[in-house]
Structure 1
Amino acid sequence: MKAIVKKKRTRGMEFVEVPAPRVGLKDVLIKVKVASICGTDVHIFDWTRWAQHRFLPPRIIGHEFVGNVIKIGDEVTQVKIGDRVSAESHLTCGYCYQCNNGYSEVCKNFKLLGVDHDGTFAEFLVLPEHVLWKNDSHIPDEWATIQEPFGNAVDTVLAEDVSAKTVLILGAGPIGLFATGIAKACGASLIIISDPNDYRLAIGKKMGAHSIINPRKQDVVQTALEVTRDSGIDVVLEFSGNNQALNQGLKAITPGGRISILGIYERRVHIDLNKDVIFKKIRIYGITGRKIFSTWYKTSRFLSSGLVDPSPVITHQFSLKDYEKGMKLMKDGRCGKVILKM
């Protein structure tokens, strides 16, 4: 089969032919239809500091997809041939303390699809049946493939209620843009997006943002205070992984407010813990992955019901062999979500 493989501990990847995967007793063989590129994949392509400490080549990359089951192992009971599936990217153990206490998204022994287990940028994929998600027939392939990152946005937004709240979204990458649509669907009274990329800010307006801020042109904190009549922001959602943006969010948040942080930081962050957190009595949520599988139900319902239309975020489509075009667009910031068709 054809696949995108990270072979060496250097920048780049290769589109090559590799052996098709074997199916174990509890495994399922899937013919991938559509996959999508994540920022994690770009980090692996560029061989960033994070990738150098987390990724061990050789490995087929990718963790977002939709496809059809074409073969099942002898002990598989929950899916059948022909099912259209996606998958939770955290391959959990099912027996550690976290898994047994309802926190399998932080399983001590998890393997990450496309990092520790061969991924979705391939014609065929083998996964254990316990991580599979059967897709609603009302959700098209182009939307089904983005459910994994969409779920990140769901958990970031809905760590607490946002109805009638003011919301500041830091970072207008695809997940921040999905979060905009989710916050709107959940009744946020004011949604502000901050990002230095005007292309993505324009998408944010389409997804329901009431106000956009380019921090290279405007003061984020001052603008947030002005539009809230000096009350400050009720809910800050941090997707950027940028230390400066984090500090802007902490200064803009109202005392007693909350911040949810999904952004990943390349280096240690510096904040005024006393002034911006403790004395303001704010609540901080660290978000990783999705709640397995409760978030998937919410994601599916947001998409199948039409509450959120992610189409404005899905800006480009390429064939698998042209993946480098998508990687370049991602690095240049001239896209929303990029999908790859087999």
Structure 2
Amino acid sequence: MEKLPAKMKAIVKDGPHYGAKMMTVDVPKDLEAHEVLVKVKAVSICGTDLHIWLWNEWAKEHINVPQVLGHEFAGEVVAVGSEVSLVKIGDFVSSETHIPCGHCKQCRTGNMHVCQNLKILGVDMNGAFAEYVKVPEIVLWKNDPSIPSIWASVQEPLGNAIHTIFTEDVTGKNVLVTGAGPIGLLAIGVLKTAGAAKIIVSEVNEYRRNLAKEIGADVVVNPKNQSLVDIVKKETDGDGADVLIEMSGNPQALHDGLASLTNAGRASLLGVYDKDVQINLNDLVIFKAIRVYGITGRKMFETWYKGAELLKNKKLDLSKIITHVLDFDDYEKGFKLMEEGKCGKVVLKL
């Protein structure tokens, strides 16, 4: 076991304002029986981290400052609690960020990701934008050593895309993805591996439209100056899309996405909306017999197995989706790229 330093660098939301600071803080010590300390090798910037950085309304309601940010990471186990049995020192790991209680009805019926007492790493507790992070062993995932740490750090958002897509079968289906942010881009890659017949992507950001096309989208639409519904109908011989993957959190995208679905199609909604959304349930859902799924997080650990196998067996290439790999000290540049939307996935390496 390596000798641990007393202090470490960490990106901390130090007050109720825009941005965050690189600070020197204590390395987590005094592990509980089932806790593990991980030396972080790579950590990626999530949309949630951006919300906290911007200090939007959601962040104001959910974040207690000061707090270390970040939750999508890969690293090496350097210390374990007295009763840890799932991992050992030296293991290459990533982590689920939904931390369940293990006792509620959801945890005991295969739905830990929606635990009644759920805590989220980097939201409800100090996170992984640091040289070391402490997590309970139940959320750790042992990585195959063949997977690069940069790729291993994005398995959490990859799991979001996988969970959203595989709620039902997509093979041979015409799929509409609304929103080509980082998780939307991951969804395009997964849909390609899953054998979707045609992938139609709606995105307002030019950089990300171009990236969506490069990753494998068949049709890319700018909904600001094109009718998404008309294009989807044209591309599907008038039927509409079989599946809607809603990643944007934009009310108009939700409306147009539902309007673009074929009768008896399905919609999987991962996007998070800033406020209440009004839609015509009669015309867009009920009379069309649409199946709507609300998606949060990942199936623990079903989607992790799927994602890991796709990466390990080289069925999914993340090299075009991870557009920027920066040094940890360059975190401000990474957040600026996210804020401007001039990136896919941004990863910080330590």
Quickly name the TM-score band, shorter chain normalised: over 0.9
Q: Find 1:19's aligned residue among 11, 26, 43.
A: 26
Q: Find 1:60's aligned residue among 68, 77, 84.
A: 68
Distance 1:13 1:136 in 2: 33
Q: Deviations over 1:66-120 (max 9, x none)?
A: 0001111111111111000000001110000110111111001111000111101
Which amino acid in structure 1 is aligned with residue 21 of structure 2?
Answer: E
The 5 Å alignment of 1:116-195 reads 116-195=124-203
| Structure 2 residue 260 is the aligned partner of structure 1 residue 252 | yes
Q: Which residue of 2 aligns with 1:110?
A: 118
The 5 Å alignment of 1:1-342 reads 1-22=8-29, 23-342=31-350
Which amino acid in structure 2 is aligned with residue 223 of structure 1?
Answer: I
After TM superposition, the structure 1 stretch with the greater mean CA deviation from structure 2, 276-285 or 209-218, is 209-218
The TM-score with structure 1 as length reference comes to 0.99
Cα deviation for residue 217 of structure 1 reads 2.3
Residue aligned with 1:136, SS: coil
Residue aligned with 2:243, SS: strand
Residue aligned with 2:244, SS: strand
Distance 2:20 2:168 in 1: 40
Residue aligned with 2:162, SS: helix
Which amino acid in structure 1 is aligned with residue 247 of structure 2?
Answer: F
Residue aligned with 1:330, SS: helix
Residue aligned with 1:259, SS: strand
Give the unaligned 5+ runs of structure 1. Answer: none
Cα deviation for residue 220 of structure 1 reads 0.6
Q: Deviations over 1:182-224 (max 9, x none)?
A: 1111111100110011211111122211110011221111100
CA RMSD for the aligned pairs?
0.8
Distance 1:48 1:214 in 2: 26
Distance 1:81 1:308 in 2: 29
Cα deviation for residue 24 of structure 1 reads 2.0
Distance 1:271 1:139 in 2: 43
Distance 1:56 1:138 in 2: 38
Structure 1 runs of 4+ aligned residues shifted over 6 Å read none
Cα deviation for residue 48 of structure 1 reads 0.3
After TM superposition, the structure 1 stretch with the greater mean CA deviation from structure 2, 272-281 or 25-34, is 25-34
Distance 1:91 1:257 in 2: 33
Distance 2:167 2:87 in 1: 31
Distance 1:124 1:169 in 2: 36
Distance 1:38 1:201 in 2: 19
Asked if the contact 2:150/2:349 (under 8 Å) is kept, the reply is: no
Which amino acid in structure 1 is aligned with residue 176 of structure 2?
Answer: L
After TM superposition, the structure 1 stretch with the greater mean CA deviation from structure 2, 24-33 or 329-338, is 24-33
Distance 2:16 2:90 in 1: 37
